[in-house]
Every structure is written in C-alpha cells, then in structure tokens.
Amino acid sequence: MEILVAPADMKVSVNPQDVLATEGLGTGVGLAAFDPVARAGGILHFLLPDAGLNRSRAQKTPCMFADTGIPALLQALSGAGGDIARLQVTVAGGAGGLDQKGPFNIGQRNLLALRRILQASQIPIHHEVVGGQFYRTLRLELHSGRIRIAIPGHGEMTL
C-alpha cells in the first residue's frame, strides 16, 4: 500500500507491503532511511533548515525543519526496531529557488543543514539526487529497501 508523506511530515513503517512516498520535493528535502536487517524504513519531507526561524511552529510541526525533523525520524525508526548504525540513507530535493546564489537559497541551506545533522550523528548518505531546478518524487519500497526517484518529464531512476 502506498503511504503518502505530506510536506512537513514523516512516516515510518515495518510493513513489507508498504511503499512510503513523498511528492513535490522542490527546495524542500526528502530523506528516506532504511534498516535492511530490521526492515524498518521512513521518509521525512522537511521544508526549512532551522527551527530557530519559528520556534512555536517547530513545536507544533517539528517535521517542517531539518534540525527537529531529522532527530524525530531517527527516534521513530529506533522505536520501530531500526538500528541507526545500519541505516541506508537517500536524499532527494533541495532544488534551487528563485535566489540560487543569494542568502535565501533555501534548497542549498536545507541540504547543508541535513548534511551537518547526519554527519554529527555519524550517518552516511548512500545516494542523493539533489539541486537543480526540478521537482522530484521519492519512494521507498519496504519489502526490498529499493528507492525510486522520479523527475516529471525526465523519467524515474531506481537505486
């Protein structure tokens, strides 16, 4: 069953019949994480790098921000039996916005925040399809751990 992950949300599953998916990854970032031993996986679709931008919003919607959403995803995966040390991580999104070279390049800032947080947790990124000007769809198939990333008008890749 396909389970759609909305922007500023996450889903975690251990059901091998589930396919987790998030669409419309532009400047926002989709992080798919899968533990191949526990068969636990999750997707987070965050929109902004830093909860300090709006603390009250971060309390209500922690998955909106990289620095609150990524720890929430890791905690949910651990709670589902996943081992953080075994995670296979794929990242998609982080497209350039209207201000690609300026200080408001949200896509680039989101990717920098994600990399900083994962590095601090000693979690490597196995695959990434990021940047550019394209919207993307990210799917995680729980039965196999296979990742599919689609770019409308440009096809789909399987990782």
Give the separation between CA 87 and CA 118, rounded to whole angstroms: 11
- Predicted confidence at residue 84, as pLDDT, reads 95
| Domains by residue range for the chain, with CATH | 2-158 (3.30.1330.200)
Paired with 2 in beta bridges are 19
Q: What angle do CA 35, 38, 39 make, to 5 degrees?
A: 65
pTM, rounded to two decimals: 0.93
For residue range 15-37, what is the model confidence (pLDDT) as tens digits?
Answer: 999 999 999 999 999 999 999 99
- Predicted confidence at residue 99, as pLDDT, reads 54
**pLDDT less than 70: residues of the chain:** 97-104
